[in-house]
Chain A
């Protein structure tokens, strides 16, 4: 926090400096190139006392650009922008120097100016400032705005309000980068929607506040997910896979699609390589780590965790997709799936009007395995 506020203060102090710089430049258009050092000497004679420290700070951070270069850049940009030179140039120079003070390179500035379209320069500066205040570095800011220029259209008040909300959620201090890359809507979506997701995670899934922050930070896609789906995904991990909260958070489980999770988990389960822990949380075999299931590429998953051929998994995925589809539409007439208690069931039921006479049909009930253990297959 301290470093952050120092950074902000430095920036605020720099504005008068650069103003002085700019003022001098517009008067001395024809002057020759000056070294940074001579420029700085000039600045020390300026009216602001106690400025030397900031200057050295400035110099060491390369905030001050060569005046000549800046002038050329300004002219270039003005031509591109097509604004009236006099007034436009003042504002543009002001904005540019602010950006430079924040640490944006000329290339960055170029990019930013080109994505802003009809947003005003002030708007641009305001929005960018908010990002910087939230702890984002210049490079990520450029990336985000290039990818999602609609963010520049946000009213600054909404922007500030949202920033403060995000800080409350623990997403300041530079944690925002990943979220913004993945989910820029975090600024444009309704606060209520973010609220709903946060509440689901806290109240229904029972994650702690810190865990929720970590989840938002590492799996920003949860903001986009339907709440029912998100809850189901959590329940799948907790009940079906037997994974506890800390591991769900640590493994960044929530970022993966339910399809992928089910494919890989059910495959391992049917292979006999993954078991749902019993009431005491124990399994007969050590389950593979979550990261070896979800975080690895498919090739590595198959080679090291599942230990089967690629083609088997491809077929399995197709079969699973069909199973899921059919269980959803729950056709009663799927004779192929009928498993009545008959012993020799190698034949499918070919008769159209056959009725199930032997009804040992197993129901899908929870089997209490404590007393009646199955032989381990």
Chain B
């Protein structure tokens, strides 16, 4: 697995970024006094990149630019506010603290992690599944949209699910956590087709992967070590199974976003293509990939995208914008 082959001249810049301190975004907690929090973050000279992208989007559609598709299938998930520092600015956000309403003011995460959630395009009243939810950043983002009539958050690992619970505890008010709205489970995600087939409007499948950024730092237990080769080879198989399960759990006409934090096309495009094939062959279910070109364009100022993905989009780290890696692909279940 040599990324230098896959990325060519881009690889050195990616590599140095992976080995250097990554950049974070501050996801504003809408359950806190979010306008006050936004103002505070603006004072630090950070900017809400989601807001900027949406303004871009509006400008582009109004200007009648080419390939501006119909609004229904292209809206970003709403109500997400995430601040980042400018390109080349290495400032850090202060650690989050509880605000006046008793919940934390913002959540620090890799800003690129928000893109799969934005791309999923939640709409009010959606029933949502986060199949591999831990440690919980994207789950929190899903809740922030305010669109989830019901949200099911699942992860195989109980210890990691415990972390997710903690996050929800610190960020989300009791009434939302304790009601029927959010359900947290620790089951095997691959079973979801059988468990809750054809159920969800929106499904996020953010699979376990080689987490390249951290693997490059770790000497011990490094997933790229020869001794763990089997594990690596099995990984795409697991990922296909999870994505297939997520697709099976989607209502016909519903949407799925598959995401990883790996650079490898074996874990990214191959898995998407593999899962779509599996569904077609074994279940006679048609799944269509949705083009995210327009989506990518509006976020290009904040993130560096790799231009040669066969399907989906890949945010690659760069010292000027050290976010990612984050791969995501949006699909629609047709039948």
Residues of A within 8 A of B95 (CB): 335, 350, 352
Instruction: From B14-22, B32-40, B55-63, B145-153, give the one contacting chain A.
Output: B14-22
Residues of B within 8 A of A335 (CB): 95
The residue from B3, B137, B217 contacting A347, defined by CB atoms under 8 A apart: B137
| Complex CA–CA separation, A323 to B108 (angstroms) | 20
Does A367 make an interface contact (CB < 8 A)?
A: yes
Q: Do A307 and B1 touch across chains, with their CB atoms under 8 A apart? A: no
Q: Do A271 and B13 touch across chains, with their CB atoms under 8 A apart? A: yes
Residues of B within 8 A of A312 (CB): 13, 16, 318-320
Q: Do A322 and B21 touch across chains, with their CB atoms under 8 A apart? A: yes
CB within 8 Å for A362 and B218 given contacts A315-B88, A347-B110? yes
CB within 8 Å for A347 and B136 given contacts A362-B217, A375-B224? yes
Q: Do A270 and B19 touch across chains, with their CB atoms under 8 A apart? A: yes
The residue from A311, A344, A354, A372 contacting B166, defined by CB atoms under 8 A apart: A354
Q: Do A348 and B109 touch across chains, with their CB atoms under 8 A apart? A: yes
CB within 8 Å for A351 and B167 given contacts A315-B90, A374-B225? yes
Does B308 make an interface contact (CB < 8 A)?
A: no
Does A31 make an interface contact (CB < 8 A)?
A: no
* CB under 8 Å from chain A, chain B span 121-150: 132, 134-137
* CB under 8 Å from chain A, chain B span 168-195: 170
Interface size on B, residues (CB 8 A): 60
Instruction: From B196-204, B207-215, B250-258, give the one contacting chain A.
Output: B207-215
Does A273 make an interface contact (CB < 8 A)?
A: yes
Taking chain A's interface residues, is the majority helix, strand, or loop, or is none over half, making it mixed?
loop
- Which residue of chain B is the closest to A308 with respect to CB atoms? B13
The residue from B92, B107, B136, B222 contacting A374, defined by CB atoms under 8 A apart: B222
Does A342 make an interface contact (CB < 8 A)?
A: yes
Q: Do A377 and B224 touch across chains, with their CB atoms under 8 A apart? A: yes
Q: Do A307 and B12 touch across chains, with their CB atoms under 8 A apart? A: yes
Q: Do B261 and A346 touch across chains, with their CB atoms under 8 A apart? A: yes
Q: Do A377 and B90 touch across chains, with their CB atoms under 8 A apart? A: no
Residues of B within 8 A of A352 (CB): 95
Q: Do B219 and A344 touch across chains, with their CB atoms under 8 A apart? A: no
* CB under 8 Å from chain B, chain A span 307-363: 307-308, 311-312, 314-316, 318-320, 322-323, 335-337, 339, 341-348, 350-352, 354, 357-358, 360, 362-363
B21 CB to nearest A CB, Å: 6
CB within 8 Å for A272 and B12 given contacts A322-B21, A344-B206, A346-B110? yes
Per-residue 0/1 for B296-335: is the Cβ within 8 Å of any A Cβ (1 yes, 0 no)?
A: 0000000000000000000000111000001000000000
Q: Do B221 and A341 touch across chains, with their CB atoms under 8 A apart? A: yes
B18 CB to nearest A CB, Å: 8
Q: Do A377 and B320 touch across chains, with their CB atoms under 8 A apart? A: no
- Which residue of chain A is the closest to B137 with respect to CB atoms? A347
Q: Do B221 and A362 touch across chains, with their CB atoms under 8 A apart? A: yes
- Which residue of chain A is the closest to B263 with respect to CB atoms? A377
CB within 8 Å for A377 and B2 given contacts A336-B21, A339-B217, A350-B107? yes
Residues of A within 8 A of B51 (CB): none
| Complex CA–CA separation, A354 to B167 (angstroms) | 10
Q: Do A377 and B159 touch across chains, with their CB atoms under 8 A apart? A: no
B119 CB to nearest A CB, Å: 15
Does B265 make an interface contact (CB < 8 A)?
A: no
Q: Name 14 interchain pairs, CB-CB below 8 A, sorted by A.
A: A308-B12, A312-B319, A315-B88, A315-B320, A318-B90, A344-B208, A345-B135, A347-B108, A347-B135, A348-B109, A351-B170, A358-B159, A362-B219, A373-B226
- Which 10 pairs show the lowest CB-CB distances between chains A and B? A347-B137, A271-B12, A270-B16, A362-B218, A348-B108, A312-B319, A362-B220, A270-B19, A346-B110, A315-B319
